Amino acid sequence: MSNTERRNPKSEDIDTQSTHEILSLMNEEDAIAIDAVRKAIPDIARLVNETVKIIKNGGRVFYIGAGTSGRLGILDASEMPPTFGVPPDLFQTIIAGGDIAIKRCIEGAEDDVVAGRNAAIEIADKDIAIGITASGKTPFVLSCLEEAKRKGARCWLITCNEIETPIILNTIPITLDGLIKIITGPEIIAGSTRLKAGTTTKLVLNMFSTATMIKLGKVYKGLMVDVTPSNKKLIGRAERIIMEITGCSREDASRYLELSDNRPRVAVVMKAKGVSKEEAERMLKNSGDSLREII
């Protein structure tokens, strides 16, 4: 039995407690989740460094999960293009049961080994596949990783259980390239991994994807310089970024943003260096997209 399936002795009387007591217990258990993530930082750092190299070499990131784990992968991947201006296919998610499983449970989907293998069809040898499963045993996820590994992709697993690689799937050993274990212990509702396990998974994915983008130069002085200004709020944010970095007025920021084809990083170089869009693009390319090197 995995850690997340065990009963938590702290919650044996939870159905008799007051609302305040229930919420306080949940908060105490969530604190355990934070500490568990801290202990996993060395492994998360290895995953970030490997992923940076893969993306620089033209590879993509695939999250693979079922149920809550798959939905958390979708949440993280879907935020990457607007926040960091990356192509929508750079971070992708494979979820057991397909798109319909985003909103509702698909019975038996997480146990479908054949579907898991078939789902790896888009994963190539230059990509990285990251399985997400609290138990570390979900057949759909493991079979997808098995097929991705066979195709030459790098394969990692994020889990909340004490497991080791190779992992056995139907007597077949799967040797992973990396394993991130966030040991949170039993949930206050046994088996409900949308609680501590879900919280830790969200934290790890946030840390992984954000740190990866930072190392790829998508952040300058804590500012998302590649934000996609696709609505009024994000247009305002992009203008404030240009203003803060260059010291220009709102009017100038708006003008340079328009001249740069709505690319804040390019607009910053244009304003700071007094160059054309084409020259700013050339300077960024030569610097590896490093604003620190240019400014």
Report the catalytic residues.
79, 110
262, 278 contact by CB (below 8 A): no
Nearest to 218 by CA among 92, 128, 85: 85
Cα 139–Cα 87–Cα 113 angle in degrees, nearest 5: 10
- In terms of DSSP bridges, do strands 167-169 and 172-174 run parallel, antiparallel, or are they unpaired? antiparallel
- CA–CA separation, 101 and 121 (whole Å): 19
- CA–CA separation, 187 and 9 (whole Å): 10
Measured in whole angstroms, the distance separating CA 62 from the mean position of its chain's CA atoms is 9
Helix (H) or strand (E) holding 91: strand 91-95
Residue ranges with strand state E in 140-269: 154-159, 167-169, 172-174, 178-181
